[in-house]
Amino acid sequence: MSDINNISSLSNPYKVINEFYEKSRDNLTNGVIVQHFRELLADNDVYSSIPLIESITDCDLHQGKLVRLRCMIQDVFEPQLYNVEYKIKNNQTNEIRYELAKYKDYTNIRENEEFILDYFNSNHQQQQCMDRNVLYCIPIPCQNKWVSKRNDSTTNSNNQVNKKKRPIEDDQQEDDDINNNNNNNNSEIIDNNNNNKKIKQNEKELKKNNNNFGKEIDFEKLYNYPVPANKEDKRVPFIVKVYDDYEIPQPGSDIPISVLKVSELVEFVGIVPQFVPDDHSSNAEKERNMMNMLGLLSFDSDQQTFPESLVPLFHCITFKLLNPYENGNHEFPFNSTTSTTTTPATQTEQQQKLDSIKSIRQELVDYILNYINDPLFAEYFIFYIISKVYSYNSGICLGNFSLNIDINCKDKEKQKQFKDIPKIIERILENVVCRSYRFEANIDNLNDFNIIPTKNYDENRIVSGLLQLAKNTHLIIDETTISEGKLESQALKGLAAIRNVSMLQKIEYDFIYHPIEFQTDIQIIDVSVGKPLVDCFSKVKINPTATTNINGTTTIDMDQNQSLFTRLQKYVNILQNTVFQPSDSQVTDHIQNDFVSSRQKDPNLSQEIFHYWLTLSRLMSLSFGENKISIARWESMKALENSRTSLL
Amino acid sequence: MDRLQLFSTLRSRKEKEEREEGDSDNESNNNNNNNRIDKSQATKKKEKKGKEKEKEKEKETPKERQKDVNESFGDDDNENGPIDKDLMTAAVSEIREEKKVVEQFWGTNILVEDVKKRFIHFIENFQTTSDKRRPLINDDNGNDNMDQEEDGDQQQQQQKKRNLYMEHLQVIFNQRKSYLNVNLRHVFDFDRALYHQWIRYPTEMIPLLDYEINIYFEKLYPPESELDIRPIIEIRPFNLKTITPMRNLNPSDIDQIISIRGLIIRCSSVIPDLKMAFFQCAICEFSVEVEIKKGKITEPSQCDNCKARLSMALIHNRCAFSDKQYIKLQETPDAIPEGETPHTVALFAYDNLIDFAKPGDRVEITGVFKASPMRAGRTTRTLRSIYKTYIDTLHIKRTEKGRLGASDSSAEQEQQYEQQATEEGEVGEEEQDILEISKEHERELIELSKRPDIYDLITKSLAPSIWEMDDVKKGILCQLFGGANKKFSESSGGGRFRGDINILMCGDPGTSKSQLLSFVHKIAPRGIYTSGKGSSAVGLTAYVTRDPDTRETVLESGALVLSDMGICCIDEFDKMSDETRSILHEVMEQQTVSVAKAGIICTLNARTSILASANPKESRYNPKMSVVENIKLPPTLLSRFDLIYLILDKANERTDRLLAKHLVSLYWEKPDVPFATLPKHTLTNYISYARKHVNPEISDDSVSRLVNGYLRMRNLGGGGKRTISATPRQLESLIRISEAHARIRFSKVVEPLDVEEAIRLVNVALQQAAIDPTTGTIDMDLITTGKSASHRDAVKRMESLISEVISSSDTGISFENIMNELNKKQQIQQQQSDVVREALRQMEVDVEFSNGLYKFKS
C-alpha cells in the first residue's frame, strides 16, 4: 500500500496533496503534507530517484511530478498572499465545490462553472488567505563542470531509462482529470504522453513568445547572474514559492529568522506546475478589464514580471540547505531540512578520514608543481585552497586566507611566461574545487562590470554583482591584464568591496538609501604584478627561477587524470569539513611564549601577525591531515614564513 | 477610499437622499445572496432611521469588510475574551432595558449606538495633564516605588486637567482644519473596548466615527449661514499600543489598523483616483453614474435606456476623481535580521497626506492593511491566486525628529516644532508619545541599574570583542550616556552649555580604534561614520545645491548636521585637511554649523558628540617626542576634546601574554565567553532610557571635589607648550563626565564617587601620571600596566626603604643623598636608580619635592 502511495507521491504529488485536502482542510496548514513528503524522502533510494531539474526541457519533462532543484537564492521577493482554496460553482447544477489552490498558480475550471470570488464562507475563513515567500533562484554560479557531471550521473540516469521504456499511446484522457487515476502506472504513461505533447506546444509557444518580444531578449539582464553565463548553459533561473515552516523563532525578538537568505545554496523538493502560456488572444478582454484596474492604477508597476517560458515557476513542498563546503558529494539522505552541516562525525571517524587522505597531499603538490614549478608557492596555494571561514567570533572572521601572488620579476621573458599564471590557477582550481571563477580586473571590466549587488528600486530586485557568490567560491582576481587608464568611481567602489571581502569576508549590498552587510566566504586569490590593487591576508612572490607551463610538463592520460582529480577533490572536501581541535596546554603555552618573545625582539610586531600565524599554522596542520596544531608544525610554519618573507 | 466615499455622500447628501435610498436598497439586495437576510434587516432599519441609515449603507457595500468582520468575529472569543464579554453583558443589559431594535456591526455583537455613545463620551470627557512628559524617576524613591509615583501623577492630573479633544475641536473650528488627530493610547487608557473595536473593525468604525464627529462638530459649532461650508473633519488615529514589524505582517492583519515603521523609498506623483465614473450611451445619450465598488468601476454592458449593447462610453471630464499617492515603504536598516534583505510594503496616501513625507524619511504609519485580489490570467477558465497587499494610510508621523535617545532639550524643541507644525496646519501630533519602552522593559532596566556591578557590566558589553582597553570603553560609555545640557534663563545671560562629550583616540595602528568606532556608530542614536580622508568641509557641514526641478537653492545637510543629537564618528582624524578640521571648531563648542552661501545664511544645529580617532604624527607613537608633538593637532581643537586617549601598543610581557592568550582562545573553535555581557539591544535601550529620563544634579559635596580635581589638573599642566594644559574647558568636561557617570547608575545625584571616576578617567586617558611635566614626554616605563610583578614588588620594597631614609632627615634630602644612604644600607647598584625614582614618584602623595630636596609633607 505504502509503495503505491510512494509512487504516486513521486509521479503525481498533486493527487496525494489533494487526497490530504479532501480528508481535512486542516491538513493544508498543519504540516501533515510536508511531513508525509519528508518521510518519503528519508528513504535514500526514493530520494535519489527524484529527478534534478535545471533547464526548460527538464521542466517540461517533469511537469506535475515531484522534482528536485539545486540553486542559489539570488533575491527574496515580497511575500505573496494567496488563496488556499477556491469556491467554484457549477452553473447548471448550482453545486458548489472547493478546489485546492495551494502549490498552484492557476486554477482551472470546467465548462459551466464559475469562480465565486467573494468566496466568503464562515466555516473556514481562517484558511482563505495565507502568505508564501517568493524567491528568485539562479543556477549555482561558477560551478565547475565536474560537479554537475557528477550530479548528472547519479540522478538523471534513471529518467533516461524510463523514457526509453515508455511506449507512445493514444491520449484518451484529458490532463486535468486527476480523479480517474486508478492505475498508477497507467497514469504515469499518460502523464508522459501529455508531457510530450505539451513540450511541442511549449516550444511553439516559446517561438511565438520570442517573436513577440521582437528580436533578442536581454537574457543576461533578465536572468541576473553574478557572472555572465556560458552560452551553451541550458540552465535557467526559477521562481520558487515556499510555503510554510521555513522560519525559526529567534530568542529575544518577535521576528523569526528566515533560513532562506540571499546567496544560500538550497535544494528544493517540489513541483513544477503546468506551463500556462500567456493568452495573446484575450487582448480585447484585457482592455475591458482596464476599467476594473483603474482604481489600482500604477499599483503594480514596479512588480517584477517574468515571462514564464523563460523563468519557470517552482512550488516548493520541502527543502534543505546545502552545505557550501560539501563539494558536490550530495548523496546524503534528505534528513533534516534545517541542518546546514552533515551529521557530526565522531572523533575516530574523523581521524580515519584524515588518515585516508594524508598521502594525497603530495599528489596535490606534484600536481601543482607540474604547472608552476615553485614549491613555496605550492605550499601556500594548498593552504589557500583548503581555507574557509570557520567562525565569526566577536566580529572577526577566522580562517580567511586570501592570497596575493606577486609575479613581478626583472627578466622580461619570465615576466611574459608568468602572465599565464592566473589561467593556470584557474585550470588547477577547475578540477579541484567545486566553484571557481577568474575575473579579469582590467580597466574596462572594473568600470563596467557589476561588482557590488545593488537594489534596483525601479524593477524592485537586487541586480546581482560579481560578489554575490555562494560561500566557498574561489575567486581569482587577475590583475595581469590591467593597462593604463582611468578608473571611474564605480570601479573604485568595486575594488574597495573586493578588498573588504578579501580581508574581512563581508560584503555590503547597495540598497541606495543604506548599505546592508552580509557575511560571506569567497576565497580570493589575487595575481598582480608588483603591489596588488586588492589587499590580501598573505602574499607570495613567485620565485624568479621557477618555470611555468600552462599545459603541465608531463601529460598524464585521461583515465589516470580522472582518478587523480577525484582524489584531490576528496582531499579538499574532507579537510574543509574537518572540525579542528584545540591544542593542549603545552602547545598553547609554547605559542604564547613564542609570541611574547617575538614581540620583545621586535616591538613593531603587531597583533595582526599573530592572527596570521595562528591561521597559517592551523591550515598547515590541516593540510597534513592533522586536526591539532603541534609544536613541530608551529616551528615549521615559522620556517616557511621565513623563506616566504625573505623573497618579498 | 471609504472615507472619500463618505465625503462625497455627505456633500451630496441633501440632494440625493431620496433617490439614493431606493437605489442602494435594490443594490444591496442584489449584491449578496449569502447575506440577504441581514441586508434586508438593514434595509428595514434604514427606513426607520434618519441620517444614520445612509451611513450604514456606506459601511456595508464593500464586501471585504464583511469578510473581515467575520474573520475577526471568529477570533474575538479567543483573543479578546474578557473585553468582549464585558461588552456583551453591556449589550445584553442595554437590549433588555431599552427593548428596541439595536443596530450591530454585521456579524458581531458590537452595537453601533453603543460605540457612538462611547466615542462621544471619550471626546467630551478625555482629560490630560497639560503637556509635560511624565518624569519617570522624579525622586530618589522613584526607583523603588512605582505605585507611589503613579499616585503622584494622578494628583498632578487633578491640578492641570483639560479636555484635550474639546480643545482640539476648538482649534479645528478656529483654523478650519479638516482633521482631528486622535492618540489611540488615550483611547486605550480611557476606554479599552473602544480601542479594540477601533483597531479591529476599522472598516466599520472609521466611516462611523468620521460621521459622528462631523455631526457632533456641527452641533457644537452650528454653521452661521447656509453659505458657511466647512471642510469635513476626518479622524486620524495614531500611536497604537503595538507597532507591527513589517516582517510580521500576515493575513491575520488584513483589514485592521496597524502601525508600522519604515523608510520611505519612493513616492509616486499624484494619481487621480476615479471615484465616480460617468458613462454615456453613444446612441441615445442616456447617461449613468457608476460609483466605485471594491476599488473597481464596473462598466455597464448595455444601455438601460435603448438596450444597445456595448454602447456606453466613459466621459472623462464628468467623472469624479480624488487625489491619491502610491508610497513604497522599506524596513529600516536596524529592523532587518542579520543576513536578510529588507522587506517593503505599499502604501496609499490620500488628500492632504500626499507629499507629507519624502523618500528617505523615516516614518511611522498608521493605517488599514488591505488586500485586493489580482487576476493575471485573464481567461475566465483560469484564475491566478494572488493578492496585492497595501496599507491605506490614516496617519503619517515622521520619526526622524524624535528618535530614541534624544535628550531633554531636544524634546522641548521637538515639542515646539510639533506645536508649530500643528499651528501651520501640518499633520503633526499634538501629544508626544511618552514612552518608547514598555513598562516591563522599563522595570527590567531599572532592575538592571541597581546591580552593583552595572558599571563593569556595561563596560564589558561595549564591543565585547575588543580586548581590554576598559578605560577607553568607559570613556566612550560616558560619551554615549552624555552629560546634561544646561540652559540658562534669559535673565542670567542666556546661552547654553553643551552636554555632549567629545573624545579623541590617538594611538598606534592596529589597536582596534576603528573597530570601536564602528561599534559605537552602530549602537549610538544617529551614529554617523565618516573617514577624515574622504570628508570635505561641506560634506561634514552642509552644502547648497540647486534643485534640478524647481531651480531653487536647497540646503543639504552633511554628516555633522545629520548626526544632530547623535554621535559622529570620524576615523583618520589626522588625515583630514586643515580646512575641514577648522570647521569643527564651531561644531564642537557652539554646536552649530553656520552656512553663508549662495544667498542662504543660516545656522544649523549640530549637537553632536564627536568620537574621533587618529594616528600619531609619525604613524607610531614616538616616545622621544612630547605628547602634543605626537598628536600634532592645534591646541584650540585639542582643548575641545573632553577626553584624549593615548592608545599605545607597547610591547610588554604581561599585556602581550594576555593578548596572546586571548587570541589563541579565539582561534580554537567554540571559545568560551569569559564574562556575561548585555545583548546589544538591551544596551541600546538602557542608554536611550538613561538619556531620556535621568538628569542628575551635582551635590554640594561633589562640587568641592570637582573644584579640587580641577585645581590639581591645572597645576600639573605647567602651562608649557609641550603638555596639554588644563583650561576652564576641562572643568566643564569633568562636570559632564561625572554627570554621564551618574547616569549610568540611573542616579539623580552626582555623587563624589562619580567625580572621582571622572577625574581618574581624564588622567588615565592622557596617561598623565606618566608624563614628565618638564619635557612633556611620556615616561614609557611608567605606563601603569607595563610593570612586571617582580618590578612592582621591588618598587614597593624600595618605598619603605626610602621613607626610612627621608624620615631620618628633617630638612629634606636630595636624590643623590638618598642613593648614597640606600647604598649604605643595602648594596644597591647604580642601575637601580630608576627603581628609586619610581618609588619616589609613587610616594608623591606624602613626599614633597622642593629645591631639589625630598621631605615628608607636614
Give DSSP secondary structure letters for A338-374: S--SPPPPPHHHHHHHHHHHTTHHHHHHHHHHHHB--
Nearest CA-CA distance, residue A164 and chain B, Å:
34
Distances (CA, A) of A263 to A54, A395, A469: 18, 20, 6
How far apart CA B521 and CA B524 sit, in angstroms, is 5
Is the CATH code 1.10.760 the one for domain A347-563? no
| Angle (CA) A393 A395 A397, round 5° | 60
Inter-residue contact A503 to A537 (CB < 8 Å)? yes
Residue keyed to cell 501629544: B431
* Least Cα separation, residue B792 to chain A (angstroms): 19
Per the DSSP assignment, residues forming a β-bridge with A136 are: A75, A239
A76 contact residues in B (CB cutoff 8 A): 340-341
pLDDT at B783 (0 to 100): 41
A41 Cβ contact list (under 8 Å, min separation 6): A47, A50, A269, A318, A333, A334
Is A243 at the interface with chain B, CB within 8 A?
no
pTM over 0.80? The answer is: no
pLDDT digits (tens, 9 = 90+) for A371-407: 888 899 999 999 999 999 887 765 677 888 999 999 8
Minimal Cα distance from A81: which residue of B? B387
Does A492 lie at the interface with B, CB-CB under 8 angstroms?
no
Distance CA B180, CA B171 (A): 10
> Closest by alpha carbon to A95, among A103, A87, A106?
A87
Picking from A77, A74, A85, A5, the residue whose alpha carbon sits closest to that of residue A37 is: A5
Q: What is the pLDDT of residues A563-608, one digit of tens each?
A: 888 888 889 988 888 888 777 788 888 888 888 888 777 766 777 7
Chain B hits for A282, Cβ within 8 Å: 378-379
What does the mean pLDDT of chain A come to? 76
Residues 347-366 of B with CB under 8 A from A: 359-360
Place of cell 590557477: A425
Question: Does B680 touch chain A if contact means CB atoms closer than 8 Å?
Answer: no
Quickly state the pLDDT bin for A37 (edges 50, 70, 90).
confident
Cβ contacts of A294 on chain B, cutoff 8 Å:
274, 296-297
Radius of gyration of chain B (CA): 36
Q: What is the mean pLDDT of each run of 10 residues along chain B (858 residues)?
A: 44 41 40 38 40 42 40 39 46 46 66 86 76 37 38 47 79 81 85 87 85 86 74 84 83 85 81 81 83 69 78 81 85 77 86 78 85 55 67 80 33 38 35 48 77 78 72 82 66 63 78 76 72 65 61 64 75 76 75 70 75 78 70 75 75 70 67 59 77 79 82 62 63 83 82 82 65 52 43 70 76 75 66 68 69 70
A98 interface with B at CB cutoff 8 Å: no
CA atoms within 13 A on the CB side of B247: 19
Closest Cβ opposite residue B382 in set A75, A106, A297? A106
At residue A452 the predicted structure's pLDDT band, cuts being 50, 70 and 90, is very high
Q: How far apart are CA B236 and CA A150, in angstroms?
A: 63
- Predicted pLDDT at B133: 39
Select from B687, B536, B666, B704 the least CA-distant residue to B609.
B687
C-alpha cell at B637: 581643537
Q: Say whether residue A261 is in contact with chain B using an 8 A CB cutoff.
A: yes
Residue A302's pLDDT band, with cuts at 50, 70 and 90, is very low
Torsion angle of C-alpha atoms B119, B124, B130, B131, degrees rounded to 10: 30
- Number of helices and strands in chain A (H, E): 21, 23
Cβ A271 vs Cβ A67: under 8 Å: yes
Size of the A and B interface in Cβ pairs below 8 Å: 224
Q: Which helix (H) or strand (E) holds B594?
A: strand B592-597
Q: How confident is the model at residue A526 (pLDDT cuts 50, 70, 90)?
A: very high
Residue A214 has pLDDT above 90, yes or no: no
- In this prediction, residue A342 has a pLDDT band, given cuts at 50, 70 and 90, of very low
CB atoms inside a 10 Å sphere around CB B619: 10
CA angle, residues B111, B112, B114, in degrees to nearest 5: 65
Supply the pLDDT for residue B418. Answer: 41
Q: Which residues of B, range 491-510, sit inside 8 Å of A by Cβ?
A: 509-510
CA A10, chain centre distance (Å) = 24
| DSSP structural state of residue A154 | I
Distance from C-alpha of B744 to C-alpha of B475, rounded to nearest angstrom? 12
**Nearby residues of B272 by Cβ (< 8 Å), 6 or more positions away:** B321, B322, B323, B324
Distance from CA of B509 to the nearest CA of A (A): 9
Cell numbers standing for residue B443: 522595570
Q: In the structure grid, which three cell numbers stand for residue B505, read together? A: 583616540
B224 or A246, greater pLDDT: B224
Q: Chain A: residue nearest B35 by CA?
A: A120
Interchain contact, A120 vs B663, CB within 8 Å: no
Check CB contact under 8 Å for B339 and A519.
yes
pLDDT at A437: 92
**How far is Cα B496 from Cα B409, in angstroms, rounded to an integer?**
10
DSSP code, position B603: E
d(CA A566, CA A432): 8
Q: How far from each other are the two terminal CA atoms of chain B, in whole angstroms? A: 88
- The residue extents of the domains of chain A are 3-81+130-276+295-322, 347-563, 578-648
Indicate which of B267, B292, B383 best probes the interface with A, i.e. most A CBs within 10 Å of its own CB. B383
Instruction: Supply the angle between the helices B680-693 and B513-523 in degrees, to the nearest 10.
Output: 60
Report phi then psi at A400, rounded to 5.
Answer: -65, 130
Confirm or reject contact between B274 and chain A (CB < 8 A). yes
* B414-453 pLDDT tens trace: 343 343 333 333 333 333 333 445 667 777 777 777 777 7
Q: How open is the CA angle B9-B14-B19, to the nearest 5 degrees?
A: 80
**A244 CB contacts (<8 Å, ≥6 apart)?**
A29, A31, A34, A130
Q: Answer whether A129 sits within 8 Å of B273, measured CB to CB.
A: no
| Cβ-contact A136, A261 below 8 angstroms | no
Could you tell me where the beta strands, DSSP code E, fall in B304-418? 312-314, 320-330, 344-350, 362-374, 382-384, 386-398
Q: What is the pLDDT of residues A608-647, one digit of tens each?
A: 788 888 889 989 998 998 888 889 999 999 999 999 988 8
Measured between beta carbons, the chain A residues lying within 8 angstroms of B669 are: 390-391, 579-580, 582
Give chain A's radius of gyration (CA, Å): 28
Q: What does the pLDDT average to over A16-29? A: 82
Q: Which of B255, B321, B385, B508 to mutate to test the interface with A (most CBs of A within 10 A)?
A: B385
Determine the Cα–Cα distance for residues A432 and A478; give it in Å rounded to an integer: 19
List of chain B residues whose C-beta atoms are within 8 Å of the C-beta of residue A608: 510
Specify the pLDDT at position B411.
Answer: 35
In one-letter notation, the amino acid at residue A221 is: K
In one letter, which amino acid is B386? I
CA closest to B31 among chain A residues: A118
Span A95-109, pLDDT tens digits: 877 888 788 877 777
A146-179 pLDDT tens trace:
887 765 554 444 444 333 333 333 333 333 333 3
Q: Which residue on chain A is closest to B380 by alpha carbon?
A: A114
Determine the pLDDT at residue A379.
Answer: 92
Contact yes or no for B346 and A600 at CB 8 A: no
Q: Does A610 touch chain B (CB under 8 A)?
A: yes
The b/e string for B653-664 (b: 16+ C-beta within 10 A; e otherwise) is: eebbbebbbebb
Q: Who wins on pLDDT, A516 or A5?
A: A516
